[in-house]
Amino acid sequence: MPPSNSKYPPIQPGGSLIVAWQVKNKHILVVGGGEVAAGRIVHTLNADANVTVISPSSGLNDEVAHRIACNQVTHIDRKFTPSDLDDNVDMVLVAVDDPDASTKIWQLCKERRIPANIADVPSECDFYFGSVHRDGPLQIMVSTNGNGPRLASMVRKEIAAGLPGGTGEAIENVGRLRRRLREVAGAKGDGPKRMSWISRVCEVWSLEELVEMDDEDIEALLRYYSSDKVPTFEQVRLGDKADAIVFDGSMGFAC
């Protein structure tokens, strides 16, 4: 056993590996057409997946029917058959009120090594869906490892309520800065320096300043990269004038 005062984080068994699964252009099957299926469809479409819904038309709720009518998903108007897994399927999400049928689909997916999630059956899931807060590129997921989905939603709302406004916009701007930095300093060996410099920008600039950052600010910031310096927001906006502003001991600032 490691000493209790170890400088390393303690191991807490029983959790899940929380990852951001990239499914853009992947083929995902959603079996079912009710409320749970509708939620699964939203999650996968938001992740730019190619979604096929397998369900008799009589089992579609209004939201799923809307997705089909708008050609956001492909619809197969019948119940699931094993041959549905033959078409280069990357993931299967089952949301039908039939435990026996769900288990059979789970077993088929296991045989073919296709990751699957069987709604409301944690033991038949390769992964769980959590409660997600979304603000542009920002995604925060709360998972209870299948123990309490409603409680996860309550926790997620509490976290979202505590976030400062403009967080998503600030992240978008930092992403633009990172992409532009790669264009001007894209050498493979520059990776650690780029990451360190971007991290320092996020520490020096406030969230409000990152929200205000525009293309001109990005270009001005990049001029400091080669010297490995991080200017303040004021230095970027004022340029040389910022260096001439000094405190003279009075109630204000003088040049």
The per-residue pLDDT for range 60-116, each reduced to its tens digit, is: 999 999 999 999 999 999 999 999 999 899 999 999 999 999 999 999 999 999 999
CA distance 166 to 174: 12
Name the pTM for this structure: 0.77
Q: What is the DSSP letter of 125?
A: B
Pick the CATH number of 167-254 from 1.10.760, 1.10.3280, 2.60.120, 1.10.10: 1.10.3280
CA nearest to 41, candidates 79, 80, 70: 70
Residue 249: both structure tokens together: 């001991």
What residue spans in the chain does CATH classification 3.40.50.720 cover?
A: 27-129
* Fold (CATH) for 27-129: Rossmann fold (3.40.50)
pLDDT the model gives residue 242: 52
Active-site residue among 90, 98, 120, 126? 120
CA atoms within 13 A on the CB side of 107: 7
Judged against a pLDDT cut of 70, whether residue 248 lies above it is answered with no
What residue spans in the chain does CATH classification 3.30.160 cover?
A: 130-163
Judged against a pLDDT cut of 50, whether residue 246 lies above it is answered with no
What digits encode the pLDDT tens for the residues 7-47? 898 899 988 888 889 999 999 999 999 999 999 999 999 99
Class of domain 130-163: alpha beta
Q: Is 48 a catalytic residue?
A: no
